[in-house]
Amino acid sequence: MTSTSSAGSNRLLTLYKSSIGKKLITGLSGLALVTFVIIHMTGNFVLLVSADGYNRYGHLIEQLGPLTWLIELGLLGFVLIHVVMGIQIFWGRLRARPQGYAIYTSAGTPSYQSMSSRSMIITGLVLGSFLVWHLLTFKFGVRYTVPGSDIRDLSRLVIEKFQQPFYLISYIGVMVMLASHLRHGIWSAFQSLGALNATLRPIMYGTSFILAIGIALGFIVLPLAIYLGLIT
């Protein structure tokens, strides 16, 4: 029993140390984060309809108590795993090919090298830095309350921030980075999981591009509506 368990642990350790294993872990954690991003974007749409509904939506999440904490800890775990694996993959490529290539070419098959794929480490670090700023601003920022209630008036804070040109422009810039990261990341995740063949590969590549643009635009709609005075 012990030898079987030890052999299983050794196989897992070998997989983790391999480039394939790291890409697999990065892909799985990335898909989990994409799922959260889509849910978060959908929640933002509530403010387009009703400020009161948005505040109640945020209050409901707070009232989940321990469940919310568990979800947040899980998300933090996915973020840390994704960042660590991404950095290790990038560092491994640097050591294997310190000079890089001046020209990116394909060895007889369709190439999926792009600016998005080559800038993953940069966009990833920008997104990580933005996440900290975003949390400090909204989750841990000023706590307004709805008059006569203990419900947090999160809509007021969101509207205040996106009425500021600097915050709006910065946010849109980060969403462009998000689109770039997702364009390659979603496709690469399915590729790492072995879910793509020669037929599905170009289809998923195009689908990833559409999803990336759609998600970025979905996040940009609310800030623009606020800045243009459509939501006050």
Q: How far apart are CA 175 and CA 173, in angstroms?
A: 5
Residue 170: φ, ψ to 5°: -60, -45
Tokens in use for 119?
A: 């800038």
User: Helix, strand, or coil here: 117?
Assistant: helix
d(CA 81, CA 30): 9
Residue 95: band (very low, low, confident or very high) from pLDDT cuts 50, 70, 90: confident
**pLDDT average, residue stretch 38-58:** 96
Output the pLDDT for position 117.
Answer: 86
Question: Does 155 have pLDDT greater than 90?
Answer: yes
Residue 183's pLDDT band (boundaries 50, 70, 90)? very high
pLDDT at 7 over 60: no
Whether the per-residue pLDDT at 27 is higher than 80: the answer is yes
Residue 158 pLDDT > 70, yes or no?
Answer: yes
pLDDT > 80? residue 206: yes
Confidence of residue 106 (pLDDT cuts 50, 70, 90): very low
pTM given for the model: 0.86
The predicted model gives 98-112 an average pLDDT of 51
pLDDT band of 96, cuts 50, 70, 90: confident
- R_g (Cα) of the chain, nearest Å: 21
Q: Which amino acid is at 155?
A: S
pLDDT score for 92:
83
Weakest-pLDDT range from 12-21, 106-115, 150-159: 106-115
Task: Give φ, ψ of 159 to 5 degrees.
Answer: -65, -40
* CB-based burial label for 62 (10 Å; 0-12, 13-18, 19+): exposed
What's the CA gap between 193 and 185, in Å, rounded? 12
